[in-house]
DNA sequence: ATATTATTGACCGGATCGGTTAGTAGAGTT
DNA sequence: AACTCTACTAACCGATCCGGTCAATAATAT
């Protein structure tokens, strides 16, 4: 038990474990996973929606249904909690990527589907993970700016989506008068649209997934040359 | 001069002018329009990004490059400023609609273009107007909730976009295997994507408009039956 | 120089902030 | 039944920030 906990802690990026005391994290990680997730998801949602400065620890505690003191008990400071989340989410995405990304898939839309599945299975772990990471990328508060940069640099996860979906894909199946880059832009914008509406509305990931599939199919049917259908 | 000011004030919805003293508004409206817009745009951006409660009057003053005291001098209270903005933006959109909407245009994509032009010319007046109104729609703070409802009810502007773009449009030109509703959903989501990215990045409205036109053309070329191209 | 207006820095009491602490509630253990 | 031990919180701390005020200054007109 202690073994598995310390193994998890090993993943922590240097700039995080400087701030987050191991003893606190051990307490948190020995909580039932369900309760851990309640707290993490509440924090991701709050930070993702309102940014670092405008999110108070009371907000997070209320959203998680626990007392403010307990949040401090598990994470020590607001900053440590925030950086822990950045680190955690980055690692989740990277693991998901290592696990599922397959660069032998060259079909444009198959690759898009691959990317979408990676994102969706990450969101099944933590629904607000993408909108949180998106907000992290634009975070500008001096208290956390440098640390964020350190963590993200460590994980080299810049512009994942476009790399994954585009590099090494076969665009020869498109009709001649269609610019694949334009289609890519549309798809990126579509997922941004989802990401944006997501936190506000009650979200059904599976329904969303089906809807996205419909769009992909519509595009494929009409943008590919007929012989490739 | 006083005449034109009081004429503008007449537009104010009842629940707003109960709160915003006319003398203050007169002061504000007699400011150079350029300066008025600086303040309004700063406020729209702040409120639109962080919501009513999490936006402080200091934030707005800083964004507008004036002192906090001056904001209170022009609007009296934070609440009055907020409701004034809701009212103002609602009227701007409604006027734009009255002026430019043409329900004799029945072609699906022509109608989309019409709607896009309406939104864009509103954004040329106040770049953050749409993301602000979007946030207003989801605002849940008790201090302003009821007043928002009163103002919006008065202007019956619910779900403008879908009504405008869809009601009475001719969908017979689509290829038989294409669901126009699906296309509509995609377009709505696309504009949401733009709306979402907009406040963060420096925005060039004309470039954006061109890009959107490309998407529309791509869709039209590939989703309409050939005889209609 | 004076009167008037536009604008602000400094300030108010109260709320909220990040963070601490003393102590309660409850599940074993004996 | 008394005693741990752990999980958790209400109440509190000083500091900061809030919405809002006001006396005083800067700018402009006369």
Mean pLDDT of chain B: 90
Tell me if chain B has a CB within 8 Å of the CB of A138: yes
Contact A197 B192 (CB under 8 A): yes
Share of chain B above pLDDT 90, in %: 70
Q: How far apart are CA A140 and CA B186, in angstroms?
A: 32
pLDDT in tens, A37-72: 999 999 999 999 999 999 999 999 999 999 999 999
Q: Please check the confidence at residue A2 and state whether its pLDDT lies above 60.
A: no
More confident residue, B156 or A53: A53
Residue A7: the pLDDT is: 61
CA A70 to C1' D2 (Å) is 29
More confident residue, B11 or B98: B98
Of A20-24, A126-130, B115-119, B202-206, which range is least confident?
Answer: B202-206
Strand D closer than 7 A to residue A66 Cβ: yes
Q: Please check the confidence at residue A179 and state whether its pLDDT lies above 80.
A: yes
Positions of strand C less than 7 angstroms from a protein CB = 6-10, 16-22
Contact B138 A178 (CB under 8 A): no
CA B71 to C1' D17 (Å) is 17
Residue A1: the pLDDT is: 44
Q: How far apart are CA A5 and CA A33, in angstroms?
A: 12
Model pTM score: 0.92
More confident residue, B71 or B19: B71
User: Nearest CB to A190: which of B189, B214, B223?
Assistant: B189
**Mean predicted confidence (pLDDT) in A12-29:** 88
More confident residue, A38 or B193: A38
Chain B residues touching residue A50 (CB < 8 angstroms) = 50-51, 54
Residue B1: the pLDDT is: 44
Of A204-208, B157-161, B217-221, which range is least confident?
Answer: B157-161
pLDDT in tens, A218-227: 999 999 999 9
**Mean predicted confidence (pLDDT) in A196-219:** 84
- Per-residue confidence band for A8, with pLDDT thresholds at 50, 70 and 90: low
Share of chain B above pLDDT 70, in %: 90
Q: How far apart are CA A181 and CA A18, in angstroms?
A: 43
In this structure, is the dihedral angle defined by the CA atoms of residues A12, A18, A21 and A23, taken in order, positive or negative? positive
Q: Taking the CB of residue A146, how many other CB atoms lie within 10 A of it? A: 10
Q: What 8-state DSSP symbol labels residue B114?
A: H
State which H helix or E strand residue B75 sits in.
helix B68-75
Residue A90: the pLDDT is: 94
Contact of B57 with B68, CB cutoff 8 Å: yes
* C-alpha A59: how far from chain center: 21
- Per-residue confidence band for A156, with pLDDT thresholds at 50, 70 and 90: low
Q: How far apart are CA B33 and CA B96, in angstroms?
A: 19
- Per-residue confidence band for A192, with pLDDT thresholds at 50, 70 and 90: confident
More confident residue, A42 or A188: A42
Contact of A51 with A78, CB cutoff 8 Å: no
Contact A196 B200 (CB under 8 A): no
Mean pLDDT of chain A: 89
Among A44, A52, A49, A133, CA closest to A97: A133
Which of B47, B136, B181, B186 best probes binding to A when mutated, by most A CB atoms within 10 angstroms? B186
B:48-67 Cβ neighbours of strand D under 7 Å: 55-59
Q: How far apart are CA A173 and CA A226, in angstroms?
A: 9
**Range with the largest mean pLDDT of B48-52, B112-116, B180-184, B185-189:** B48-52
Chain B residues touching residue A213 (CB < 8 angstroms) = none
pLDDT in tens, B55-73: 999 999 999 999 999 999 9
Nearest residue on chain B to A50, alpha-carbon basis: B50
pLDDT in tens, A106-130: 999 999 999 999 999 999 999 999 9
Residue B139: the pLDDT is: 97
Contact A177 B221 (CB under 8 A): yes
Contact B138 A214 (CB under 8 A): no
Among B91, B66, B90, B79, CA closest to B20: B79
Q: Which nucleotide is nearest to B31 (CA to C1')?
A: C6
User: What are chain B's domains?
Assistant: 2-228 (1.10.357.10)
- Per-residue confidence band for B17, with pLDDT thresholds at 50, 70 and 90: confident
**Mean predicted confidence (pLDDT) in B104-123:** 92
Cα distances (angstroms) measured from residue A41 to each of A9, B140, B177, B190, B205: 19, 21, 41, 27, 35
CA A59 to C1' C14 (Å) is 20
CA A21 to C1' C26 (Å) is 28
Q: Please check the confidence at residue A185 and state whether its pLDDT lies above 60.
A: yes
Question: If you search the block for the tokens 């201090």, which residue do you land on?
Answer: B143
Give residues 47 to 86 of B whose Cβ lies within 8 Å of A.
Answer: 50-51, 54
Q: Which nucleotide is nearest to B55 (CA to C1')?
A: D18
Q: Partners of A224 in the beta sheet?
A: A174
Contact of B122 with B93, CB cutoff 8 Å: yes
- Per-residue confidence band for A166, with pLDDT thresholds at 50, 70 and 90: confident
Q: Which nucleotide is nearest to B78 (CA to C1')?
A: D19
Contact B182 A223 (CB under 8 A): no
Q: Which nucleotide is nearest to A31 (CA to C1')?
A: D7
Contact A190 B194 (CB under 8 A): no
Q: How far apart are CA B135 and CA B115, in angstroms?
A: 20
């Amino acid at each position: 038990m202690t073994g598995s906990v310390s193994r998890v802690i090993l993943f922590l990026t240097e700039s995080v474990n400087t701030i987050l005391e191991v003893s606190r994290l051990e307490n948190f990680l020995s909580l039932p996973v369900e309760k851990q997730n309640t707290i993490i998801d509440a924090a991701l949602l709050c930070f993702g929606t309102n940014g670092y400065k405008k999110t108070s620890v009371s907000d997070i505690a209320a959203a998680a249904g626990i007392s403010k003191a307990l949040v401090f008990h598990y994470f020590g400071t607001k900053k440590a909690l925030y950086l822990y989340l950045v680190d955690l989410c980055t690692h989740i995405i990277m693991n998901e990527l290592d696990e599922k990304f397959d660069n032998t898939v060259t079909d444009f839309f198959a690759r898009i589907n691959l990317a979408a599945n990676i994102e969706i299975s990450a969101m099944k772990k933590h629904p607000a993970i993408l909108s949180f990471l998106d907000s992290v990328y634009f975070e500008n508060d001096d208290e956390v700016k440098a640390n964020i940069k350190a963590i993200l640099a460590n994980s080299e996860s810049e512009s994942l989506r476009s790399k994954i979906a585009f590099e090494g894909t076969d665009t020869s199946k498109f009709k001649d008068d269609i610019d694949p880059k334009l289609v890519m832009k549309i798809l990126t914008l579509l997922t941004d649209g989802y990401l944006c509406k997501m936190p506000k509305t009650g979200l059904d990931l599976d329904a969303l997934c089906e809807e996205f599939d419909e769009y992909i199919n519509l595009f494929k049917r009409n943008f590919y040359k007929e012989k490739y259908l």
